Amino acid sequence: MERIYLDHAATTPMHPSVVEKMMEAMANTFGNPSSIHSFGREARHSIDTAREELARSIGAKENEIIFTSGGTEADNMALFGVAEGYQHIGKHIITTKIEHHAVLHACQKLEKLGFEVTYLPVDETGKISLTDLSRELREDTILVSIMYGNNEVGTIQPISEIGQLLKDHQALFHTDAVQAYGIEGIDVNRCGIDLLSVSAHKINGPKGIGFLFSRDHVKLVPRSFGGDQERKRRAGTENLASIIGLHEAVRISGKMQTEKRSAFIEYKEIFIQQLTEQNIEFKLNGILEESLPHVLNLSFPGTNVEAMLVNLDLAGIAVSSGSACTAGSVKPSHVLVAMFGEESERLTNSIRYSFGYNTTKEQIIKAACETAKVVSRLKK
Q: What is the pTM of this model?
A: 0.96
Please tell me the distance from the alpha carbon of residue 174 to that of residue 322, in angstroms, as a whole number: 23
pLDDT-derived band at 274, boundaries 50, 70, 90: very high
pLDDT of residue 296: 98
Please give the CATH topology (third level) of the domain spanning 4-11+257-379: Aspartate Aminotransferase, domain 1 (3.90.1150)
Based on its alpha-carbon atoms, the radius of gyration of the chain, rounded to whole angstroms, reads: 21
Please name the CATH architecture into which domain 16-252 falls. 3-Layer(aba) Sandwich (3.40)
DSSP code for 113: T
Please tell me the distance from the alpha carbon of residue 337 to that of residue 321, in angstroms, as a whole number: 13
Q: Which of 107, 191, 325, 369 is catalytic?
A: 325
pLDDT of residue 323: 55
Q: pLDDT tens digit string along 227-245?
A: 999 999 999 999 999 999 9
pLDDT-derived band at 155, boundaries 50, 70, 90: very high
Please tell me the distance from the alpha carbon of residue 351 to that of residue 298, in angstroms, as a whole number: 5
Average pLDDT, rounded, for the chain:
96
Please tell me the distance from the alpha carbon of residue 69 to that of residue 242, in angstroms, as a whole number: 9
pLDDT of residue 379: 87
Report the SS3 class of residue 174. strand
In the chain, domain spans: 4-11+257-379, 16-252
pLDDT of residue 328: 46
Percent of the chain with pLDDT over 70: 98
pLDDT of residue 176: 98
Please tell me the distance from the alpha carbon of residue 202 to that of residue 180, in angstroms, as a whole number: 9
4-11+257-379 and 16-252 share one CATH topology? no
pLDDT-derived band at 202, boundaries 50, 70, 90: very high
Please tell me the distance from the alpha carbon of residue 80 to that of residue 106, in angstroms, as a whole number: 8
Q: pLDDT tens digit string along 305-349?
A: 999 999 999 999 999 997 554 444 567 899 999 999 999 999 999
Q: pLDDT tens digit string along 77-136?
A: 999 999 999 999 999 999 999 999 999 999 999 999 999 999 999 999 999 999 999 999
- Sequence-distant (6+) residues with CB within 8 A of 8 are 202, 294, 354, 355, 356, 359
Q: pLDDT tens digit string along 5-58?
A: 999 999 999 999 999 999 999 999 999 999 999 999 999 999 999 999 999 999
Q: Is 369 a catalytic residue?
A: no
pLDDT of residue 330: 62
DSSP code for 150: -
∠ CA 337-339-341 to the nearest 5 degrees? 45
